[in-house]
Amino acid sequence: MTQPATAAQQEAPTSAAESAGTQESSRRLGLRWDVRSLSLLGVLAVLVAVGGITAPDEFLATSNLQLVLTQASVIGVVTVGMTFVITSGGIDLSVGAIVALASVWATTVATQEFGFAGILFTAVIVGVGCGLVNGLLIAYGRMVPFIATLAMLASARGLALQITDGSTQIVSVESVLDLGARDAYILGIPPLVLIFAAVTVIGWLLLNRTTFGRRTVAVGGNAEAARLAGIDVRRQRLYLYLLSGLCCGIAAFMLIVLAGSGQNTNGNLYELDAIAAAIIGGTLLSGGRGTVIGSVLGVLIFTTITNIFALNNLETAVQQIAKGAIIVAAVLVQRRSLHGDA
């Protein structure tokens, strides 16, 4: 009987929490979002100009665009999942380890006997399984996400090492390998890039156009308010880590296609790359605001930087210094344009 009244009462905190999704501020926020993305696009444009000037023949080729997008696709899928987790105020430090575990589990001799489907199924299920454990520990075990996923990082890497025994597991299933070959390109687009695009579109829709997305933002903005508004915060958190695990599973499969093998060192430091890309993209580390498009732009910026450095034959040390500087610059530029707007 009191149900409708309670719901009405809680309307206010919910909308406060769901700031990104409410109508009253949508226009202003839409503008802000545009500025943020535009500044990222600006950074990307500057990079493209630098690449075009320093290595015109190599950088501006179609094959290079295919290369950059392919190299971005694996970490890109992981970053989309990470964006949801961070938006909800959480963190997932285990993504790299889950990619490693899923990729080695899916490339054991026993799994390879099941062919393409076996590899794909195993990679995805292992990813989802790890996500489930993370989610249960965090949502129902009341563990801090940082600790729970740190534990997963350690144990998933350990298990990956246990399975491989340190060796490189080479994939001999032709149908999997063919997916990475030039012949498999659809209208010039590599299949891995298509998967990345699909994950991005689904991720964007999920975050911006569904109740699930609004709940994610609400939990990240103010979990207590979200709970009072009738959102099952714990279940929502469980789903989010499941989602991140699923993304890791898909990424693991893509990595198997790309590298033609599974190795326990796969996905090294993915957690840092994914978090950095999401933050540069404009997702708040404290939660409550997230943008899939921004994250994807963040990933593309990183990949383009690496590409330009490699094409100009710069040393690793220089690459790392410049990468750090560009992260700082991108965030500063973003801050500045945001302040100018607000």
Task: Return residues touching other proteins (CB under 8 A).
Answer: 55, 57-58, 61, 63-64, 67, 70-71, 105-106, 108-111, 114, 118, 122, 125-126, 129, 161, 163-170, 180-182, 255, 258-261, 263-268, 306-307, 310-313, 315-317
Q: Which is nearer to other proteins, 130 or 278 (CB)?
A: 130
Q: Tell me how far apart the alpha carbons of residues 292 and 156 are, in angstroms, rounded to a whole number.
A: 27
| Least distance between other proteins and beta carbon 255 (Å) | 7
| Least distance between other proteins and beta carbon 313 (Å) | 5
| Least distance between other proteins and beta carbon 108 (Å) | 5
Q: Which is nearer to other proteins, 109 or 328 (CB)?
A: 109
Max Cα-Cα span within the chain: 71
| Least distance between other proteins and beta carbon 259 (Å) | 5
Q: Which is nearer to other proteins, 24 or 315 (CB)?
A: 315
What tokens appear for 173 in the block? 């299933």
Residues 231, 6 contacting (CB under 8 angstroms): no
| Least distance between other proteins and beta carbon 92 (Å) | 19
Q: Tell me how far apart the alpha carbons of residues 13 and 204 are, in angstroms, rounded to a whole number.
A: 24
Q: Which is nearer to other proteins, 147 or 170 (CB)?
A: 170
| Least distance between other proteins and beta carbon 307 (Å) | 6
Q: Which is nearer to other proteins, 94 or 169 (CB)?
A: 169
Q: Which is nearer to other proteins, 51 or 287 (CB)?
A: 51
